[in-house]
Amino acid sequence: MNTDHNCIFCKIVAGQIPSRKAYEDDEFLAFHDIAPWAPVHVLVIPKDHIPTLADTDPSQHAGMLGRMLALAPRLAKEQGAHNGFRTVINTGSDGGQEVYHLHMHVIGGPRPWAKG
C-alpha cells in the first residue's frame, strides 16, 4: 500500500490520528467529517494514498473508483440520509481540495445545510 507519512488521512488510516469511523474494509475507510456541512457528512477514502482524482489512471483505478462510488448509497442510508444525498470529490486547489488524499464527501440529511 502506498502511503505518505505527511498526509493526515494516511495517519488516520494508520490509526495515528483518531476518527469516528462509519465503515472500513481492506480498501476503504469512511469516517465522519470533523466540520460537517449537514447532519450526515462522511468522508470515504481509499487506504492507498492517491493525492487527487486527477492522479488516477483508468487502467489502474477504474474498479476502485466504482467501488468507492457504489459505497455512497449504503453509507448515506446507514447514517440517516433517507431522502437523498450528495457525493462530492474536490480536485486540486481550484476545485477546493484541502487534503491531498483522494476523498469523497457523502453529504445528506434535512435541508437547509449550513454550507453549499
Name which of 60, 72, 74, 58 is nearest 103 in CA terms.
72
Is 61 annotated in the active site?
no
Catalytic residue among 41, 101, 103, 105: 103
Beta strand 40-46 with 28-32 is: antiparallel
Distance (Å, whole) CA 83 – CA 76? 9
Total residue count of the chain as it appears in this document = 116
The residues annotated with a catalytic role in the active site are 103
